[in-house]
Amino acid sequence: MEPVTSRVYQSLSQLKSPLFRGSLLTSASVLERHGTDESYHAARIPDAVAVASCEGDVQAVLRTCSDHGFPVIPYGAGTSLEGHIHALRGGLSLDVADMNSVLSVDPDEMTATVQCGILRSQLDNYLRDTGLFFPVDPGADATLGGMISTSASGTTTVRYGRMRDNVLGLKVVLPGGKKIQTGKERRGCSSAVDLTSMFIGAEGTLGVVTEATLKLYPRPEFSRSTVCTFQSMEDAIRTSVKILQQGVGVSRLEFVDETSIQAVNRAYQSWHEEKPSLFLEFQGSETSTKDEAETVKAIANKNDVIDVKTATELEDQKKLWHARHNSYYAILALRKGGKGVISDACVPISRLAECIRETKEDIADTNIFSAMIGHVGDGNFHVIFVVDLNNLDEIRTAKEITSRLSHRAIRMGGTCTGEHGVGMGKIPYLKAECDATSLELMRTLKKTLDPKGIMNPGKIIPE
Amino acid sequence: MEPVTSRVYQSLSQLKSPLFRGSLLTSASVLERHGTDESYHAARIPDAVAVASCEGDVQAVLRTCSDHGFPVIPYGAGTSLEGHIHALRGGLSLDVADMNSVLSVDPDEMTATVQCGILRSQLDNYLRDTGLFFPVDPGADATLGGMISTSASGTTTVRYGRMRDNVLGLKVVLPGGKKIQTGKERRGCSSAVDLTSMFIGAEGTLGVVTEATLKLYPRPEFSRSTVCTFQSMEDAIRTSVKILQQGVGVSRLEFVDETSIQAVNRAYQSWHEEKPSLFLEFQGSETSTKDEAETVKAIANKNDVIDVKTATELEDQKKLWHARHNSYYAILALRKGGKGVISDACVPISRLAECIRETKEDIADTNIFSAMIGHVGDGNFHVIFVVDLNNLDEIRTAKEITSRLSHRAIRMGGTCTGEHGVGMGKIPYLKAECDATSLELMRTLKKTLDPKGIMNPGKIIPE
């Protein structure tokens, strides 16, 4: 253990009571877990893990680490795909997973205030009997704090927006240990400099989000699902564009390529048609969703759809969505011990078909297994490579294709990251995506808020 | 003219060609117009007005004024209600109204990129034949730059959100004259520090917004309007809460009190029922809107509605909305030469009835004419006092009641400003609304971005 670590360790130990009531862990397995996310990035373990039990703990940790210039890496569920929780310069992993209470639910205002260590599934269970729900679903069972820090999105974003659209206010502990309440715990404030947005998507580089007030929505009275199968990817994308342009109120609009469906069929012995497909969901009343599903069918028919299946019973809808909901893990399961290298490029929907086609051509020359799924409602799609982590050639090829895809997306007016964030993995692309003055401004803001550079160093901002 | 002014004036004159191609005006009438908004705040005129013709002009002005430490106050249409454009410390009014082009419309992506001096009505006309529209409508015919800088909202916010939700990217000239492109001109980027949001609602205190990429929406295929008349304000608000909780897809949900309707009847010799009323609009297909209107009727019936009128023909809908659309100017017209003192407090909808009742009691003791209208969909309501600007007693009383209302809203978990912004008028309430560390952080950000303090000094942030 380096001297600085032991100093901080001692400081935190001294703080134990009453200022720091959490626990401080240094066992190898705990360090390993806190330095490893769900991505292909090799582990980078912290010097110690501080498990915070309350906001006061977070303040104590940040004050102490600020005094010692010691890095702090906020840790929630470790579901990052871009190495957000990797301790690139050592330091303290600040685990907030125990801070997972729902502090209040206001059914009239349709808001919930939660501690940020709460998992998406925990919040969902808690809300089950209220008639309300929180819509953002990035797939992984992340913490709300993690979802805020990457401004996550997911399958329902086409209707309900991303995290940025669904957070009303935050409590944040700043690097020196002071705390602020940003925004109001209600809808529609116009006033002053928007501090809330500053911390959404900041990936823990500006402070630690400890509480959030979230927008909730009424659980829909009725839902209906449709799957459209096409001969070509282009037909499917053209159909999506038309659906969005006509303002059909879809709650999900997902594209799954034929390879992903093959993977699902192989993994689950199922018999979904192995063609490019659109998966749609409609929420509302029985008549309004019927109306919408019929409009979609008419649009699909004009774009040479092969088959349209619709379901209204919950069980039938689940069966219909099976190939989409299970695609990611089915793709990974194709290869024992395989890890995913996943891109999340995002392009204007008018360029989506072109971007997918060019990327498919790029992949065609390699022999790594890959598949594509996409939240086409917001132009966001994933290429998933299943690589053997011991095969450096494969990893290099996957990274090269991902790199070309990121630059392609940026060139087409899109972004290298639609939902996973920048982390350590996408820093090079940010330079291509943002102008030099914007990057300089980000650096200046970082320096202003975190003058000692303790918060999640080496993430987001190119140095 | 003070020495500093003439120095800047000379600098700008020297810059004329080729760096500053706009015009520099100092006639009394131009100065007067640029120091006066639509509010009751007494005029505070600038030393000169620079009319910018392009982004390069804005850069030249900001560079020069930065060199001289000379205040710059961005000016669009002058429709502010909180003295945003008042030259509190003299300086240069930077008029961007000539920068009013639509730069591009992308019908597939459903976005428009515009120069920020464009008026809402100009954009609306431009988009008329595209099948798309921009939904945010604050009532006044403001510039998009002004709407961005106050994060304006309006009657359609309940469905489409406020400015903050509808801006995808900005071009901003920073105080020293450098420019940045924030965000991407497309939906759904998750990456990095959110510079776009920083400038939305910043009221020109951090830089000058010159271009914006906006979300557009398909013009709805069909719309339907309903007016519900109630015996009491409480019944109307209860109905609103239930409508929102059931997730009925209203596109407008407005409350108008009996006094406002009396004012409309007097001004237009019309015969609307003089009762607390809800004005609703539904957008979608013929069947979905019918469905929604019937759900609303059922909810209203359970809350003792007196009368429900519905219209589907455009002309009939206009007639139905007449009392809402004309209420503001009808209220002002009650008194020749009267000016409005308008609050825009915003409270959680569960406290709205209580907040309105307490405010009405507060007003009952005075003899100033006042009326209330509100965007109840987001808890935002306006008390409009019609005052004689020569009667200082009246102005004082109106300001006192507004002050008590602002503090009441903050106490109830709301905000002093739902849509008009802070400007110079609401600075005192911001102190009550934000914690000291948040205000300190805002001050630090302001100082970081605008070290010489030239951008719209004396606005937003308490000193």
Please write the tens of the pLDDT for every residue from B291-334. Answer: 999 999 999 999 999 999 999 999 999 999 998 888 988 998 88
Cα(B263)–Cα(A261) distance, rounded to whole angstroms? 64
Q: Count of CB contacts below 8 A, A vs B?
A: 270
Look at residue A184 in the predicted model and tell me its pLDDT.
65
A200 contacts on B by Cβ (under 8 Å): 194
Which domain CATH number covers A155?
A: 3.30.465.10
Burial A250-262 (b: 16+ CB within 10 A, else e): bbbbbbbbbbbbb
Residue A320 contacts residue A309 (beta carbons within 8 Å): yes
| Same-domain check for residues B163 and B56 | no
B442 contacts on A by Cβ (under 8 Å): 192-193, 195
Among the partner-chain residues A186, A347, A434, the one whose CB lies closest to the CB of B379 is A186
| Same-domain check for residues A19 and A86 | yes
The dihedral formed by the CA atoms of B332, B336, B341 and B346, expressed in degrees to the nearest 10: -10
Q: Strands B339-342, B380-387: parallel, antiparallel or unpaired by DSSP?
A: antiparallel
Residue A433 contacts residue A415 (beta carbons within 8 Å): yes
User: CB contact, 8 Å: A58 with chain B?
Assistant: no
Cα(A200)–Cα(A324) distance, rounded to whole angstroms? 28
| Same-domain check for residues A133 and A186 | yes
| Same-domain check for residues B141 and B244 | no
Q: Which of A330, A327, A339 is nearest to A36 (CA)?
A: A339
Average pLDDT over residues A161-176: 94
- Which chain B residue has the Cα nearest residue A442? B193
In this structure, is residue B462 part of a structural domain?
no
Cα(A218)–Cα(A130) distance, rounded to whole angstroms? 9
User: CB contact, 8 Å: B150 with chain A?
Assistant: yes
| Same-domain check for residues B150 and B234 | no
Residue B340 contacts residue B40 (beta carbons within 8 Å): yes
Helices vs strands, H then E, count in chain B: 17, 18
| Same-domain check for residues A64 and A152 | no
Q: Strands A48-51, A92-95: parallel, antiparallel or unpaired by DSSP?
A: parallel
Burial (Cβ within 10 Å: 0-12, 13-18, ≥19) of residue B222: middle
In this structure, is residue B257 part of a structural domain?
yes
Look at residue B47 in the predicted model and tell me its pLDDT.
94
Which residues 6+ apart lie within 8 Å of A143 measured at CB? A76, A77, A96, A97, A100, A116, A117, A118, A119, A120
φ, ψ (nearest 5 deg) of residue A182? -100, 150
CA distances from A285 to A107, A321, B219, B285, B292 (A): 21, 20, 22, 13, 9
Round to the nearest angstrom and report the end-to-end CA distance of chain B.
Answer: 27
Look at residue B408 in the predicted model and tell me its pLDDT.
94
In this structure, is residue B233 part of a structural domain?
yes
Final residue of a domain: which of B330, B359, B387? B330
Look at residue A419 in the predicted model and tell me its pLDDT.
86
Whether the pLDDT of residue B185 is over 60: the answer is no
Interface test with A, best of B159, B190, B380 (most A CBs within 10 A): B190
Q: Is A48 or A4 the better-scoring residue by pLDDT?
A: A48
User: CB contact, 8 Å: A350 with chain B?
Assistant: yes
Judged by CB atoms closer than 8 Å, whether chains meet at B164 and A194 is answered as yes
Helices vs strands, H then E, count in chain A: 17, 18
Burial A352-373 (b: 16+ CB within 10 A, else e): bbebbeebeeebeeeebbbbbb
Cα(B66)–Cα(B72) distance, rounded to whole angstroms? 9
Percentage of chain A exceeding pLDDT 70:
96
Which domain CATH number covers A369?
A: 3.30.70.2740
A201 contacts on B by Cβ (under 8 Å): 190-194
Q: Strands A277-284, A222-230: parallel, antiparallel or unpaired by DSSP?
A: antiparallel
**In chain B, which among 286-325 make CB contacts under 8 A with chain A?**
287-288, 291-292, 295
Which domain CATH number covers A55?
A: 3.30.43.10
How many domains, chain A? 4
Final residue of a domain: which of B330, B359, B378? B330
- Which chain B residue has the Cα nearest residue A283? B247
CA angle A216, A222, A225 (to 5 degrees): 105
pLDDT tens, residue by residue, A78-121:
999 999 999 999 999 999 999 999 999 999 889 999 999 999 99
| Same-domain check for residues B208 and B131 | yes
User: ipTM value of the model?
Assistant: 0.91
pLDDT tens, residue by residue, B163-182:
999 999 999 999 999 999 99
Output the six-digit token pair for B388.
């004689």
Look at residue B191 in the predicted model and tell me its pLDDT.
61
Residue A254 contacts residue A376 (beta carbons within 8 Å): yes
| Same-domain check for residues B158 and B233 | no
| Same-domain check for residues B323 and B361 | no
Among the partner-chain residues A108, A184, A241, the one whose CB lies closest to the CB of B241 is A108
A221 contacts on B by Cβ (under 8 Å): 246-247
**In chain B, which among 434-453 make CB contacts under 8 A with chain A?**
434-435, 437-438, 441-442, 444-446, 448-449
Interface test with B, best of A157, A180, A187 (most B CBs within 10 A): A187
Interface test with B, best of A155, A173, A189, A446 (most B CBs within 10 A): A189
Cα(A293)–Cα(A280) distance, rounded to whole angstroms? 9
Judged by CB atoms closer than 8 Å, whether chains meet at B186 and A348 is answered as yes
Judged by CB atoms closer than 8 Å, whether chains meet at B198 and A202 is answered as no
Output the six-digit token pair for B106.
């992308």
Which residues 6+ apart lie within 8 Å of B284 measured at CB? A249, A288, B220, B221, B222, B249, B292
Among the partner-chain residues A182, A205, A347, the one whose CB lies closest to the CB of B438 is A182
Look at residue A196 in the predicted model and tell me its pLDDT.
92
Final residue of a domain: which of A59, A77, A98? A98
Look at residue B7 in the predicted model and tell me its pLDDT.
74
Residue B419 contacts residue B138 (beta carbons within 8 Å): yes
Confidence grade of residue B189 (pLDDT, cut at 50, 70, 90): low
Residue A416: DSSP 8-state: S
Judged by CB atoms closer than 8 Å, whether chains meet at B245 and A461 is answered as no
Among the partner-chain residues A109, A150, A191, the one whose CB lies closest to the CB of B348 is A109
Average pLDDT over residues B402-420: 91
Output the six-digit token pair for B137.
């409508």
In this structure, is residue B65 part of a structural domain?
yes
Cα(B433)–Cα(A173) distance, rounded to whole angstroms? 19
Judged by CB atoms closer than 8 Å, whether chains meet at B413 and A186 is answered as yes
In this structure, is residue A76 part of a structural domain?
yes
Cα(A271)–Cα(A359) distance, rounded to whole angstroms? 27
Judged by CB atoms closer than 8 Å, whether chains meet at A287 and B287 is answered as yes
Percentage of chain B exceeding pLDDT 70:
96
Whether the pLDDT of residue B27 is over 80: the answer is yes
Among A103-107, A423-427, B3-7, B340-344, the range scoring the smallest mean pLDDT is B3-7
The residue behind tokens 């102005």 is: B395
CA atoms within 13 A on the CB side of B280: 29
User: CB contact, 8 Å: B189 with chain A?
Assistant: yes
Judged by CB atoms closer than 8 Å, whether chains meet at A190 and B417 is answered as yes
User: CB contact, 8 Å: B152 with chain A?
Assistant: yes
Closest-CA distance, A307 to chain B, in angstroms, reads 25
Where are any strands of DSSP class E within A263-362? 277-284, 305-311, 339-342
In this structure, is residue B448 part of a structural domain?
no
User: CB contact, 8 Å: A11 with chain B?
Assistant: no
Average pLDDT over residues B89-103: 97
CA distances from A415 to A168, A283, B186, B404 (A): 25, 29, 9, 47
Domain containing residue B409: 335-421
In this structure, is residue A142 part of a structural domain?
yes
CA distances from A371 to A40, A258, B160, B429 (A): 17, 8, 35, 54
Interface test with B, best of A109, A190, A422, A426 (most B CBs within 10 A): A190
User: CB contact, 8 Å: B179 with chain A?
Assistant: yes
Look at residue B247 in the predicted model and tell me its pLDDT.
85
pLDDT tens, residue by residue, A211-260:
999 999 999 989 999 999 999 999 999 999 899 888 898 999 999 999 99
Look at residue B125 in the predicted model and tell me its pLDDT.
97
| Same-domain check for residues A142 and A55 | no
In this structure, is residue A41 part of a structural domain?
yes
Cα(A331)–Cα(A259) distance, rounded to whole angstroms? 9
Closest-CA distance, A414 to chain B, in angstroms, reads 7
Whether the pLDDT of residue A186 is over 90: the answer is no
Q: Which of A215, A121, A246, A226 is nearest to B247 (CA)?
A: A215
Cα(B426)–Cα(A239) distance, rounded to whole angstroms? 49
Closest-CA distance, A174 to chain B, in angstroms, reads 10
Average pLDDT over residues A344-365: 90
Residue A282 contacts residue A273 (beta carbons within 8 Å): no
Q: Which of A334, A338, A337, A356 is nearest to A347 (CA)?
A: A356
Closest-CA distance, A438 to chain B, in angstroms, reads 6
Q: Is B311 or B190 the better-scoring residue by pLDDT?
A: B311
Judged by CB atoms closer than 8 Å, whether chains meet at A191 and B437 is answered as no
Which domain CATH number covers A249?
A: 3.30.70.2190
A433 contacts on B by Cβ (under 8 Å): 184, 191
What average pLDDT does chain B have? 91
Average pLDDT over residues B57-86: 94
| Same-domain check for residues A79 and A157 | no
User: CB contact, 8 Å: A198 with chain B?
Assistant: yes
Percentage of chain A exceeding pLDDT 90:
67
Burial B58-69 (b: 16+ CB within 10 A, else e): bbbbbbbbbebe
**In chain B, which among 369-388 make CB contacts under 8 A with chain A?**
378-380
Look at residue A337 in the predicted model and tell me its pLDDT.
82
Cα(B65)–Cα(B59) distance, rounded to whole angstroms? 10
Closest-CA distance, A266 to chain B, in angstroms, reads 32
- Which chain B residue has the Cα nearest residue A197? B197
Q: Which of B147, B33, B173 is nearest to B80 (CA)?
A: B147
3-state DSSP assignment of residue B154:
coil
pLDDT tens, residue by residue, B380-392:
888 999 998 889 9
CA angle A38, A450, A201 (to 5 degrees): 40
- Which chain B residue has the Cα nearest residue A179? B437
User: CB contact, 8 Å: A417 with chain B?
Assistant: yes
Cα(B136)–Cα(B146) distance, rounded to whole angstroms? 12
Closest-CA distance, A165 to chain B, in angstroms, reads 7
| Same-domain check for residues B195 and B143 | yes
Q: Which of A217, A294, A163 is nearest to B248 (CA)?
A: A217
Look at residue A1 in the predicted model and tell me its pLDDT.
46
Average pLDDT over residues A390-395: 90
